[in-house]
Amino acid sequence: MYLKRLRDLREDNDLSQETISRILKITRPQYSLYETGKRDIPIDLLCILARFYKTSLDYIVGDTDNPKRYSEKEN
């Protein structure tokens, strides 16, 4: 699930794999392996992407369909 979400979030924001790889400080081919599921993406990089896209890890990994980030009051 998260592979599709990663690609959808990137494309919905009109970003290239190159741009995301720079944000994550990795190579574009390395990010491509994550997005295509050929390698598992480390949790620390998922956290960076969740903050960047202003969403939750639960949304990225498919535990919820609500893309909004949890607020402090909801915790």
Q: Which residue has the higher pLDDT, 75 or 19?
A: 19
Query: At residue 3, does pLDDT exceed 90?
Result: no
| Per-residue model confidence (pLDDT) at position 73 | 41
Q: Which residues of 34-67 are buried (b: 16+ CB within 10 A; e: fewer)?
A: bbeeeeebeeebbeebbeebebbbebbeeeeeeb
Which residue type sits at 66? N
Say what the pTM is.
Answer: 0.85
Residue 31, number of CB atoms within 10 A of its CB: 24
Rounded to 10°, the helix 43-53/2-12 angle is: 40
pLDDT tens digits for range 23-72: 999 999 999 999 999 999 999 999 999 999 999 999 999 888 888 876 64
**CATH class for the region spanning 2-74:** mainly alpha
**What ranges do the domains of the chain cover?**
2-74
Nearest-angstrom CA–CA distance, 22 and 69: 23
